[in-house]
Amino acid sequence: MTDHGDDVISILTTDHREVEDLFTELERLLAVGDPEQVRDVTDKVIIELVKHSVAEEAYLYPATRKFVPGGDALADTEIAEHAEAEELMKELERTDTTDLRFAELLTTLIKDVREHAAEEESQLFPQLAQHADADELRKLGSKINAIKKVAPTRPHPSAPDTPPANKLLAPGAGLVDRIRDLVSGRGKD
């Protein structure tokens, strides 16, 4: 990985692209009506989004508060949006993919997260790049990489026998809570 690839903004922007690929896949699966695949890809997207949110909350938003003028308001807005997305993900966990509400919830999540990501890329990232130095951005990047390694990676998309992501985790708590605990617990080093 190049130097540039290690900075917080590149890492999080790459995450956004990966999530967008999963969203596109989900929209296709919803259109063809394949409930099992929809569940599988939804679980993958939930894992990615929760890891991404925890990483942003642990490092991106504190840095935004510290370096960006008016950063507190910006960080507060982003955090409120994460909380809303997390509620939607928990609803999705509890809702059967064949339930009509599932597609509605998923469509709302996709729309909200797309807006959130676009907002970060057009406002927060450029402002952070302007006010924090390159070394700082790289340090934040390596912390974010470390935090994200903790959670289960996405199940291998090309392996049909791979169990759904939620089966890889201890039973009991829902996927969102399990991933959040895993990532934030270990992230505290």
Residues that bind Fe ion (CB under 5 A): 120
- Please state the closest distance from residue 76 (CB atom) to Fe ion, in A: 15
Q: Are residues 64 and 75 in contact, defined by beta-carbon separation less than 8 angstroms?
A: yes
Q: Are 8 and 140 in contact (CB under 8 A)?
A: yes
> Smallest distance, Å, CB 67 to Fe ion?
17
Whose Cβ is closer to Fe ion: residue 35's or residue 67's?
A: 67
DSSP string, 15-44: HHHHHHHHHHHHHHHHHHT-HHHHHHHHHH
Residue 86 or 120: the one with the smaller Cβ distance to Fe ion is 120
In angstroms, give the least distance from the CB of 16 to Fe ion: 6
CB of 162 to Fe ion, least distance (A): 26
Closer of 36 and 72 to Fe ion (Cβ): 72
Q: Which amino acid is at 179?
A: I
Determine contact, residues 8/137, Cβ cutoff 8 Å.
yes
Contact 129, 120 (CB under 8 A): no
Complex with Fe ion: residue 30 or 47, whichever CB lies closer: 47
Please, which residue, 7 or 120, has the CB nearer to Fe ion? 120
Residue 37 beta carbon to Fe ion: minimum distance, rounded to whole angstroms: 25
**What six digits make up the tokens of 40?**
């599988």
Spatial neighbors of 181 by CB under 8 A, at least 6 apart, are: 173
Contact 37, 157 (CB under 8 A): no
Least distance to Fe ion, CB of residue 98, Å: 31
Q: What is the CA radius of gyration of the chain?
A: 17
- Which CB atom, from 114 or from 139, has the smaller least distance to Fe ion? 114
